[in-house]
């Protein structure tokens, strides 16, 4: 049986690993550095994660699951009442604006790179993308149901377009493309999605 203390300790170690991955890149992360950041011993880290590779893989999963709980969860208590406003907020959260979104993007890029090289990580990436797609599609369907959106195509197709736009614009912003910062990315997504939803671009930006 896993105790609350054990779960808290493992989460602290994973949080430390995520911070170091975001700061230095996954190839530079070492068990000793993670232990130091987590205020733990290397032996304790090895107790929870038998190898460095296991720790790094679980750290990426941990980060995306935590972000997913925040972003894709079922708690609607703080969500905007308008479906259009909700989607506009989602577009912003899915681009690498400074702060937590930018940090999450660094980890996304690390996962993409590792999944390309290591097929064992591809199901992890696919599962996270499916969750992302479902979240966007449900948001779009909700807007259609309350008659804010008049869809051109079905919600899942539009979600796929949104994901492609967000990933493409986000990568360009992350590499400091002077023609595509995060605000330009948000405007591009809004202008492209608006006709598919039957709303004005300004409503999504």
> d(Cα 136, Cα 91) in Å, to the nearest integer?
10
Domain boundaries for CATH 1.10.357.10 within the chain: 74-204
Percentage of the chain modeled with pLDDT above 90? 57
Tell me the pLDDT band of 183, cut-offs 50, 70 and 90.
Answer: very high
Q: Is the pLDDT of residue 75 over 80?
A: no
Domain formed by 74-204, architecture: Orthogonal Bundle (1.10)
Q: What's residue 28's pLDDT?
A: 84
Tell me the pLDDT band of 193, cut-offs 50, 70 and 90.
Answer: very high
Q: What's residue 71's pLDDT?
A: 60
175 to each of 104, 113, 181, how far by Cα in Å?
Answer: 15, 15, 9
Tokens representing 124?
A: 């992890």
174 to each of 5, 95, 98, 182, 193, how far by Cα in Å?
Answer: 37, 9, 10, 8, 22
Residue 105, classified by CB atoms within 10 Å of its CB into exposed (0-12), middle (13-18) or buried (19+), is buried
Q: What's residue 81's pLDDT?
A: 67
Domain boundaries for CATH 1.10.10.60 within the chain: 1-58
Q: What's residue 80's pLDDT?
A: 55
Tell me the pLDDT band of 200, cut-offs 50, 70 and 90.
Answer: very high
Stretch 45-69: mean pLDDT: 83
> d(Cα 87, Cα 70) in Å, to the nearest integer?
15
What's the CATH superfamily of 1-58? Homeodomain-like (1.10.10.60)
């Amino acid at each position: 049986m896993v105790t609350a203390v054990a779960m808290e300790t493992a989460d602290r170690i994973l949080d430390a690993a995520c911070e170091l991955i975001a700061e230095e890149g996954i190839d530079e992360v070492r068990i000793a550095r993670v232990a130091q950041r987590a205020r733990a011993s290397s032996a304790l880290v090895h107790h929870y994660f038998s190898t460095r590779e296991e720790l790094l893989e679980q750290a990426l999963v941990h980060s995306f699951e935590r972000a997913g709980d925040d972003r894709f969860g079922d708690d609607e208590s703080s969500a905007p009442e308008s479906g259009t406003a909700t989607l506009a907020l989602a577009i912003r959260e899915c681009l690498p604006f400074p702060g937590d979104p930018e940090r999450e993007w660094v980890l996304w890029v690390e996962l993409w790179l590792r999944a390309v090289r290591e097929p064992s990580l591809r199901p992890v990436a696919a599962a996270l993308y499916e969750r992302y797609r479902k979240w966007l599609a449900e948001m779009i369907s909700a807007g259609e149901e309350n008659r804010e959106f008049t869809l051109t195509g079905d919600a899942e197709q539009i979600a796929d377009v949104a994901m492609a736009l967000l990933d493409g614009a986000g990568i360009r912003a992350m590499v400091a493309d002077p023609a595509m910062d995060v605000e330009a990315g948000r405007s591009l997504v809004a202008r492209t999605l608006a006709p598919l939803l039957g709303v004005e671009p300004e409503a999504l930006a």
